Structure 1
Amino acid sequence: MLPLQGVKVLDLSRVLAGPWCTQTLADLGAEVWKIEEPTRGDDTRSWMPPEIGGESTYFLSCNRSKQSVAIDLKAPEGQAIVRRLAEKADVLVENYRRGALDRFGLGYEQLAPVNPRLIYCSISGYGRTGSRADEAGYDFAIQAESGLMSITGEPDGAAMKHGIAITDVVTGMNATQAILAALLAREKTGQGQFIDVSLFESAVALLANVGAGYLATGKEPRRYGNAHATVVPYQIFDTADGIVALAVGNDQQFRNLCVQVLERPDLWEDGRYRKNRDRVLNRETLIPSLGEVFRTRGTAEWIDRLKRSGVPAGQVRNVSQVFASPEVAERSVVVEVPDARHGTLRLTASPLRLSGTPVRPPKAPPRLGENTREVLERELGMTEQDLARLQSQALVE
């Protein structure tokens, strides 16, 4: 029994935030119908390199276990077909510009009367209300406008974006949480509802403790690079042959670091460094002293010492080292799935682990229109003649 077994999701989203949400719903067992434009499909199908056999790995990253249904939404008959699917769906996820789906007869106010149980999740840059509701939202711009970029990067360097489209991914996660909550609420009320999730609000929420600090004090946060604004020492250090990431979270861990790991009890005994608040205020003298000691030994030796002393730390790895690590193998983080074109594909697995209702074993992301015939026959009762006529008019693929 899959957690969302029997739940049907109409996916009208493109690129990353929406597809990340619906991929998670598919992992949890929902049947996801990914509606794509028949000639080119989701934008990310063309985002390459990197690629495998001419297929975008970006698309592969956020569309596993879905069914691709290629329908021309610009054509009235294509819109009518999708409306019929919406009447059968439990969840609809979309990230079109405001008003676009209303013009197609696929807005929430148009669908709710014919499917009162429908949970309609709208993902946008700035929300569906407010002065910027008509603007498109792009992760890079949202990182800049939300303040995330201003607190990322070296103290004296330029503001820096995250290495991935983090606001897209987090918005997809937020949308998933909201949909799951709405499904629970529907069990009590019998009614669906409208969900409005924005990249901007998701990004502002990501400011977390930094945002809370500003709201409480009015002081503009600054960048600390790989250091921490309020916890010290919590940063990277050069070793004799690499880099170690040190995460000392409390005073006892700092004592263990000084006495057991670094063999520098004098640093622990120094009154300037006994309490975290004092270490934050005196980081300019403490950090150079720690850095001098860390450069005397290799990374592996430091990691071993730190672990044995209960001090949180890790090696700074590149991506190839991550996927070659024993943790990835032991937890089956990478899975190999059958694929009609490539034989097999290696994908990352869902990080969700449920003991009683485990997630769906992942399936390869679909080719464009791979499931059009199957879905329209099963859900809408279309015949071979119906499908042949639609294909002859280029309405479906």
Structure 2
Amino acid sequence: MVSAPRTTDGSDLPLSGTTVVDLTRFVSGSYCTMLLAALGARILKIEVPPGGDSYRGQGATATATGSTLFESINRGKHSVLLDFRTPDGAVALEAMLAEADFFVQNARPGSLDAYGLGYDEVHARHPHLVYASISAFGDTGPEAERGGFDLIVQAESGVMSVTGSAEYGPVKVGPPILDIGAGLSATLAIVAAHTTRQRTGVGSKVSSSLLEFALAGLTTFMADVVANGQQPPLLGSHSPTFSPYGAFAASDGHIVIAGTGSDRLWPLLCDLLDRPDLIDDERYADNAARLRHRDALTAEIETALSRRRVVDWLGIFDAAGLPATTVRSLGEVLASPQVDALDIVRQPTHSSQQGGVDAPFRFDDERPTLSAAPTLGADTRTVLESFGVDPGVIDRLAGPR
């Protein structure tokens, strides 16, 4: 069977024809709803006046919409400026919820209850809605109501206890990976709940949190902790499970070597380093032994690597099929032919355009494209009129025509 070609207007995307009321801020929630936009949903980003989303005024680079930080996670959305805590704002938001398919928020658990926007009340009024909640520590338990940022949860989840080195101490993972992961998790759950709703006609509550995604990311580490109570040490780029596995110094930089914890690739590395004697050294007889003598082995490898430049070693390793690379800067990543071929990064051709990273998925080899992040309140009147909100309410919220 030959599949029909995809349309160019996004009308055949999985969530085409659905609407999301987006009451999120910060990275986790905003990234989630941007992914939903990439899946075809109409995203109505609710922004509280006067300034809207705080990320418009934060970040390193100012833009026409506020900042590159804001633009990076808010493309493909419509901006609706209203304060849902006021009578007019509450009326407008209720009209939107009555017809929307999804409600996504990342407020502290319980904090929206006072405005009738907790799950129980929203579900009672609009049982068709899929209600999504993203939080720092989860929506149940003694710390559910705590707020928390990616850095805080990296520390409290144990991620920082296995990231860093003995010399410099714990460090955070560079990007806000828990925020992004919680947003991804919520997106997956929302789509799954939508599938159930299509079958039953009834919406449900889905939730994700930074802490839960952190624990999921620590799955392979936690297995040993649960089994024997052993805390992995701070190993920098190295692994508590395999050796050699990590970044090693050469004459003019670092080489990242992976996979040589296996008994098949370990002898190959020794031969390529011109150190076949290491193969029969009892200290390195198998992976478990190499883990016990990691420091001595690292010194042996780096002494051998110091004889050549990084580029020379990479050529040798690549020709032999040994997994190895160097650490690239973000600029080098953008210049990579592979990244270019994936067509995931949008680079503006002039100062008025927005750049950014598109959704990390494709449909039938085509990546969904996202419109530019909206200016503050740009869609307020149009959106509210489409939901039949009283003209007087609209005028008070959006200003007279």
Which of 137, 147, 162 is the matching residue for 1:136? 147
Note the aligned Cα RMSD (angstroms).
Answer: 2.2
User: What is the match of residue 319 of structure 1?
Assistant: 330
Cα deviation, residue 337, structure 1: 6.2
The answer to which of 103-112 and 4-13 deviates more is 103-112
User: What is the match of residue 350 of structure 1?
Assistant: 359
1:1-397 to 2 correspondences below 5 Å:
1-52=12-63, 55-249=66-260, 250-259=262-271, 261-336=272-347, 342-355=351-364, 358-378=366-386, 380-382=387-389, 387-392=394-399
Q: Distance in 1 between matches of 2:131 and 2:116?
A: 14
The residue type equivalent to 2:257 in the other structure is L
- Deviations, residues 251-299 of structure 1 (Å, cap 9, x unaligned): 212222222x323222234343242222212223221111111111111
Number of aligned positions between the proteins:
389
The answer to which of 238-247 and 227-236 deviates more is 238-247
The residue type equivalent to 1:225 in the other structure is G
Q: Distance in 1 between matches of 2:286 and 2:360?
A: 36
Cα deviation, residue 21, structure 1: 0.8
The answer to which of 248-257 and 313-322 deviates more is 248-257
Q: Distance in 1 between matches of 2:369 and 2:364?
A: 14
The residue type equivalent to 2:266 in the other structure is F
- 8 Å Cα contact 1:337/1:363 also seen in 2: no
Q: Distance in 1 between matches of 2:96 and 2:391?
A: 18
The change in CA–CA distance for 1:360 and 1:102 in structure 2 (over 3 A counts) is same
Aligned to 2:125, the other structure's residue is in SS state coil
Cα deviation, residue 72, structure 1: 1.2
- 8 Å Cα contact 2:65/2:71 also seen in 1: no
Aligned to 1:236, the other structure's residue is in SS state strand
Q: Distance in 2 between matches of 1:54 and 1:70?
A: 14
Q: Distance in 1 between matches of 2:153 and 2:392?
A: 47
Q: Distance in 1 between matches of 2:142 and 2:53?
A: 28
The answer to which of 265-274 and 142-151 deviates more is 265-274
- 8 Å Cα contact 1:79/1:105 also seen in 2: no
Aligned to 2:132, the other structure's residue is in SS state strand
The residue type equivalent to 1:20 in the other structure is Y
TM (norm. structure 1) is: 0.91
Q: Distance in 2 between matches of 1:385 and 1:82?
A: 15
Cα deviation, residue 8, structure 1: 1.2
Cα deviation, residue 336, structure 1: 4.1
Aligned to 1:120, the other structure's residue is in SS state strand
Cα deviation, residue 360, structure 1: 2.5
- Deviations, residues 5-63 of structure 1 (Å, cap 9, x unaligned): 11211110101111111111111111111111121111111112233458311111111
Cα deviation, residue 334, structure 1: 1.6
The change in CA–CA distance for 1:355 and 1:269 in structure 2 (over 3 A counts) is farther
Aligned to 1:209, the other structure's residue is in SS state helix
Cα deviation, residue 171, structure 1: 1.0
- 8 Å Cα contact 2:358/2:370 also seen in 1: yes
Question: For structure 2, which runs of at least 5 residues remain unmatched after alignment?
Answer: 1-11
